[in-house]
Amino acid sequence: MSKKVQKLVFDEEEVTNHKNRCVKSVETKSDQGYFNTYSHFAIHHEMLTDKVRTESYRDALLMNSHIFNDCIMLDVGCGTGILSMFAAKSGCKQVISVDQSDIIYHAMDIVRENNLTKIVKLKKGRLEDIDLDVDKVDAIVSEWMGYFLLFEGMLDSVIYARDHYLKPEGKLLPNKCTISLVGSGDTKRYIDLVDYWSNVYGFKMSCMKAEVVREPSIEFCNAQDLVTSVAEIQSFDLYKVTTDCVNFSAPFSLKVKRSGSLTAIIGYFDVFFDDLDNPVHFSTGPHATPTHWKQTVFSLSEPISITEGEEESHIQQKLFENLIKLNPFFYSGEIVSGTLVCRRHVKDIRGLIVTIRIKDFSQVYYLD
């Protein structure tokens, strides 16, 4: 068996072995560190001042108030309670707001300050461990997305809420998310971050390159540095996904838009509230208005030389597509293709391990 095939089999085994792992399977005590990070005010200020994020939720609720009038809504991971208060203003007769973080004590004060205590009922605890005092809810709202969409594992709690509390015809906000990739040719960033270790005050520290590359960077990327087309690699229908959705293998194909060097693969996600009468959508990509999620940058250990090709004919395009099907690591002067494998972190239930393969390049990245 070749090393490439062995690696593919190993990845599939890794994915299979961790299918049943989710937040519910972890004791609350051992999960407390995650919630403690949300007890600090700075993170809530960062999220609230993200207008793209906060106003998208506001618009989805208030522009569709006729749908939520007189309903019971569940807010999973309510934080300061901003989404719960939007829900109350949309006409909900009751909003059940759950959070395990100590920030909920301040949310209680905020709800009281805004005279919404008769509508918004706050409960401290992890959703999987508490009693909501209702059998079913009409809608679930949650801002659960983490870096590269799936980091933090909060989607597990939304899935639990959906399966245990949502009415058959109930609404999920948001209802769909996608993950996309795009290639970056930011050579200055590569020199400053990766190649820097080749010569540090006259000393070689090349061994540090591996440590730098293995950890994806969360940063704003300049759209001018993008050198390929965008490829959507995964779509998540929140009405159907299971907690195993974090484990996937996705081929991708990026068309070269500009000759030069491919130095990193950039990951980002889009969020959709599109099963409403007045749909709402926002993107965290480098082409869109910046959000607090920024983008997830997977740096390559060595740049890949790429060449912009001429516009292909229909026949050429079909040929490329067939070659990609035969060899997922196909690379030509016009197309860079590979595979991204995502799986739940072996040791950290809320972390991710991402493997990217392009031609002879293969790198494992850890979001933990």
Q: Is 268 helix (H, G, I), strand (E, B) or coil?
A: strand
- Give the span between the Cα atoms of 73 and 139, in whole angstroms: 5
Active-site entry in 13, 152, 211, 310: 152
Crossing angle, helix 41-48 and helix 51-62, to 10 degrees?
A: 60
Is 14 known to be catalytic?
A: no
CA atoms within 13 A on the CB side of 155: 28
Rounded-to-integer distance, Cα 323 and Cα 265, Å: 22
Between β-strands 335-344 and 248-255, what pairing exists: parallel, antiparallel or unpaired? antiparallel
The strand pairing partners of 267, in sequence order, are 181, 296
Relative to beta strand 72-76, strand 137-141 is parallel
Helix (H) or strand (E) holding 21: none
Residue 10 makes CB contacts below 8 A (sequence gap 6+) with none
Q: How distant is the alpha carbon of residue 182 from its chain centre? A: 15
Helix (H, G, I), strand (E, B) or coil at 22: coil
CB 281 within 8 A of CB 208: no
Backbone angles phi, psi at 205, to 5 degrees: -130, 40
232 is catalytic: no
Q: Which of 46, 113, 128, 143 is catalytic?
A: 143
The set of catalytic residues is 143, 152
